[in-house]
Amino acid sequence: MPRLAQVARADASPEVARLYDFVFGAGRDPVAEPGTETGTPGNWWTVFALVPDALQHAVGGFAFYRSAKRLLDPRLRELGQMRTGWTRGSQFVFSQHCKAARSVGLSEAQVDALPAWQTADCFSPLERAVLAYTDALVLDGGRVADGVFAALRAGGLSDAAILELTYIVCTYEMHATMCRALRLEYDDVDERVVEILGPGGARTLDAMRRVDR
């Protein structure tokens, strides 16, 4: 379950109720009847509805990256979003954008190779530059080598397109981080890095030594 409360339809503001109608179907309460068209639980929407203007702001971000005004090729955008989900460790962001990547023309081989793109030969020089830039933004905290910028420009990206890519990747790093922190959607998973007890349930080295005797 998410770590925060969910907003039922009966408690939703008119603006949130309209979004619920669009995402879940007219009149449906997504808390009582969870599930979206893509198979996710849908609790990203019902938790964000706690702060309606935050939900509206986030939805505005979706409209931004899908707008016909964007100069950035959708395939490059989805490479960035998919890689952001992978590197930030968000099952939800990664899984959703694998599907979106296929819908805009990325191949199955490219989706499969995304985790180890550095060793794959199915990406163009520009696609590799986008992936390197995404890693610099997400993994290196924005410390981007001049050579990566040079490769983006050599591939034909304008300054405006690079700004769009930067904004979208950084926005999706935020979404990936929030989903993990709040345990939303496919990121509702237990911490996997835990202590494994020693023989017989031993918790200390001394206890383990006694078991071993």
Look up the CATH number of the domain holding residue 171.
1.20.1290.10
60 and 88 both lie in a single domain = no
Q: What is the pLDDT of residue 137?
A: 98
95 and 180 both lie in a single domain = yes
Say how many CA atoms lie within 13 Å of 24 toward its Cβ.
23
User: Model confidence over 10-62: pLDDT tens digits?
Assistant: 999 999 999 999 999 999 999 999 999 989 999 999 999 999 999 999 999 99
Residue 46: inside a domain, yes or no?
yes
* 32 contacts 40 by C-beta, under 8 angstroms: no
pTM comes to 0.92
User: Model confidence over 171-209: pLDDT tens digits?
Assistant: 999 999 999 999 999 999 999 999 898 888 888 877 766
DSSP letters for 67-84: -TT--S-HHHHHHHHHHH
Flag whether pLDDT at 134 surpasses 90: yes
Query: How many folded domains does the chain comprise?
Result: 2
% of the chain at pLDDT higher than 90: 90
Using alpha carbons only, give the angle 98, 140, 177 rounded to the nearest 5 degrees.
50
97 and 55 both lie in a single domain = no
159 and 183 both lie in a single domain = yes
Domain that holds residue 51: 9-64
Amino acid at position 1, single letter: M
86 and 56 both lie in a single domain = no
75 and 178 both lie in a single domain = yes
Calculate the alpha carbon distances from 206 to 170, 194, 200, 201 in Å: 47, 20, 13, 12
77 and 31 both lie in a single domain = no
Residue 132: inside a domain, yes or no?
yes
17 and 112 both lie in a single domain = no
Flag whether pLDDT at 212 surpasses 70: no
40 and 90 both lie in a single domain = no
Residue 54: inside a domain, yes or no?
yes
Residue 115: inside a domain, yes or no?
yes
Residue 203: inside a domain, yes or no?
no
23, 42, 64 — which closes off a domain? 64
Place of tokens 């922190």: 181
Q: In sequence order, which residues have a C-beta less than 8 Å from that of residue 63 and are 6 or more positions away?
A: none
79 and 126 both lie in a single domain = yes
79 and 54 both lie in a single domain = no
Residue 211: inside a domain, yes or no?
no
Q: Please tell me the distance from the alpha carbon of residue 62 to that of residue 39, in angstroms, as a whole number.
A: 19
91 and 57 both lie in a single domain = no
Residue 183: inside a domain, yes or no?
yes
Q: Please tell me the distance from the alpha carbon of residue 24 to that of residue 20, in angstroms, as a whole number.
A: 5
Residue 19: inside a domain, yes or no?
yes
% of the chain at pLDDT higher than 70: 97
